[in-house]
Amino acid sequence: MDIILRAVDVHKVYRMGDEDLDVLRGVSLDVRKGDFIAITGPSGVGKSTLLHIMGGLDRPTRGAVSVRETDIYKLNDRKRSQFRSRSVGFVFQFYHLLPEFTALENVMLPALAGGEAGSADVKSRAEKLLGDVGLAARSAHRPGQMSGGEQQRVAIARALMNGPDLLLADEPTGNLDSHNSKVIIDLLVRLNREQGQTTVIVTHDERIASQMKRVIRMLDGNIIDIRDN
Ligand SMILES: Nc1ncnc2c1ncn2[C@@H]1O[C@H](COP(=O)(O)OP(=O)(O)OP(=O)(O)O)[C@@H](O)[C@H]1O
Ligand SMILES: [Mg+2]
């Protein structure tokens, strides 16, 4: 049992004026190596909040998250940010590519930011990843010169650049038509099946969730159901 991520009794409270908003109410969850998990549930139940906390992007009010046995919120901000760039790849609904850089440069960035600037192999790794997502012919395009589906594939290649233990994706198909959604999901399925990429995605789409190995349903800040497909 190789546990990649363990969340224990995670709470998140937002203080709004003099009212507390209990967004996560004690979520516990293990992600094992090779898992492919969908988190679903109605709007506002805390799915994005949970995913951000799992990825080291947002601190829980209470509870702990460990990735590969490192308690990530016990690290200082600089160490946590280093840890995140090495261990976690994040994919967002709206891609978040840097508009002034080419596809290839966007994919290279996480390695460059990690201090690999001198490494000749960064470029060839990024080219290989762009090939893996079917975009070898788009490497010189800037985000504004690519379709939404292509931009999301670049974002996935970028998320994989540092060989993350864990790939997290928040509604990665939320902004795409059904054809491009299928391309993205097929890609994630293939990465999981062929490379054992541990992946957690948030999705509203039941048909997408049914293709994942495990489906976690949330309601009112809690996990109410875990189903293995
Ligand atoms: N920074 C914040 N300050 C206060 N409240 C917040 C903040 N971020 C999120 N919330 C509230 O927390 C709740 C959960 O938000 P979250 O984004 O996790 O929901 P979600 O399940 O991802 O919803 P959706 O499916 O619409 O993306 C919402 O009610 C939201 O309004
Ligand atoms: Mg959300």
Token pair, residue 3, equals 């546990």
Which residues, in sequence order, are bridge partners of residue 19?
16
Model confidence pLDDT, tens digit, residues 133-189: 999 999 999 999 999 999 999 999 999 999 999 999 999 999 989 998 999 999 999
Are 137 and 125 in contact by the 8 Å Cβ rule? The answer is no
Prediction pTM value:
0.95
Q: What is the pLDDT of residue 220?
A: 92
Model confidence pLDDT, tens digit, residues 132-143: 999 999 999 999
Task: State if residue 40 touches ligand 1 by the CB under 6 angstroms criterion.
Answer: no
- Among 12, 14, 58, 201, residue to substitute to test ligand 1 (most atoms within 8 Å of Cβ): 14
Token pair, residue 52, equals 């951000």
Which CATH superfamily hosts domain 3-228?
A: P-loop containing nucleotide triphosphate hydrolases (3.40.50.300)
Ranges of residues in the chain whose predicted pLDDT is under 50: none
State in Å: Cα 210 to ligand 1 middle.
Answer: 24
